[in-house]
Amino acid sequence: MSVRVRFAPSPTGPLHIGGVRTALYNYLLAKKMGGTFILRIEDTDQTRYVQGAEDYIIESLNWCGLVPDEGPNKQGEYGPYRQSERKDLYHEYAQKLVNDGNAYYAFDTAEELEAIRNEEAENGNHNFKYDSFTRRKMKNSVSLTGDEVKMLLENGTPYTIRLKIPQDTVISFTDLIRGDVSFDSNELDDKVILKADGMPTYHLANIVDDHLMEISHVIRGEEWLSSTAHHVLMYEFFGWQRPEFAHLPLILKPSGQGKLSKRDGAKFGFPVFPLDWHPENDESFEGFREAGFLPEALLNFLAFLGWNPGDDREILSMDELIDAFSIDKIVKSGAKFDYDKAKWYNQQYLIAMSNDDLARLLNDENLNTSDVPFEKLSRIAGMMKERVYFYTDILRDGQYLYEKPASYDTETLAKKWNPINEPFLVQIIEMVNDDGNADELSHAVKNFIADKGLKMGEILPVLRITMTGTMKGPDLFETMTLLGKDECMARYNYLSTNLI
């Protein structure tokens, strides 16, 4: 059987970073096995549908490089790929379950259900569920006579269809990550599989779609593990071969306590979504892309949240991730979200980029580069990339490399400035050769300082503050050769005139 996997998000808001990891693991398995990666939009719950969320999901996957082989924007033989466009299909299969005695009509109204829950709570049962023990006292086709059911249907009485869970049955399956898993059917509720509006719930729709789309592996979050018993039962009721299941560990808060939520980003000061999300009249969230992350670095980081290749490697290209990936190396326990580690990954990928590629990226992102010649921008990228975590910080932190410093460390300057050294500073600046290199300038300046009996600690700090405004930054002599003699002298003149 060929490997066919699906990433099946609901368009109810921005795609959480945990969803990106789920998509990544599905993608890696598909590519490892020469299979197919499918995007399916599970939009059956129209009450929670959010305008723009589907486009956001597709853009996020494309930015990450997890491009589906089949999906809403790339039709294959198994479409449509939006569940809202498959509505009639689900009704047919729900009806089959009813006809076979594995599901039933439930005519209870929302008010009636709320009343029975309140009644049970008053009697001390705060965990009432619609199941094999309570269904006979509810209003459904199990408790009612055939004539009563027929009349209700003919009168157009609204109904849902519920799965009929058998009593005293052990439901077992093997999870590729968690091993053998078993559930007692007496602990399960009769889940609604078709709602009163005719739309299926997740439980029916994903079973039918996975079967019809010939999905071989269902790789999804741990939160769906408890529902898998219902899904296994439905496969048995339909007489279908079920796919392999693999339930991924949670991504945890940095503290390790609890699942990483969308609001943890604001709380801890880091993004938890791939792209910025700015809906109308709702909360806005920063994305990894806008924070300055490279998609390759983000995927490398996410891959290691619950998986590793089994050796000491940490930096793996997409091809290397595909080659090393296997489900049996995914761990059961949750993985803490370490933002500092994410930043480290991003820095490693920045360092590995060529200076020209990094300059092209800065240009593509329109980060105030229009007045900086490409050759100079490339040199700036090379000088700064080991000093920043994000490409968006290269021009911000290295602003003094292409325009006059915005501020000066006047405190250090006051301590180091000595009027006696002024002519020597001018002579040093005169040594800058626009066609020379940093090593030559460094050698010449240090020899000059030694020959004049000067102190490095008095000359070099003043030169650095003159050129950059700060004691931080890349190599002083590389900075001076980048700026050129005229700009170095102009900056010295500004400092000596305005700050001394």
- Do 208 and 89 touch, CB atoms closer than 8 A? yes
CA distance 316 to 306: 15
- Do 192 and 161 touch, CB atoms closer than 8 A? yes
| Sign of the alpha-carbon torsion through 429, 430, 431, 436 | positive
Alpha carbon separation from 430 to 91, 418, 420, 443, 464 (Å, rounded): 84, 19, 17, 14, 15
Of the listed 262, 336, 446, 452, which one is catalytic? 262
Best CA proximity match to 205, nearest among 24, 32, 423, 41: 41
Instruction: Residue count of the chain, please give it.
Output: 500
Burial of 394: CB neighbours in 10 Å, binned 0-12, 13-18, 19+ = buried
Please calculate the CA angle 433-438-440 and round it to the nearest 5 degrees: 70
Q: Is 485 a catalytic residue?
A: no
- Do 230 and 200 touch, CB atoms closer than 8 A? no
Question: For residue 38, which phi and psi values (nearest 5 degrees)?
Answer: -115, 140
Q: Any idea which residues carry the catalytic annotation?
A: 262
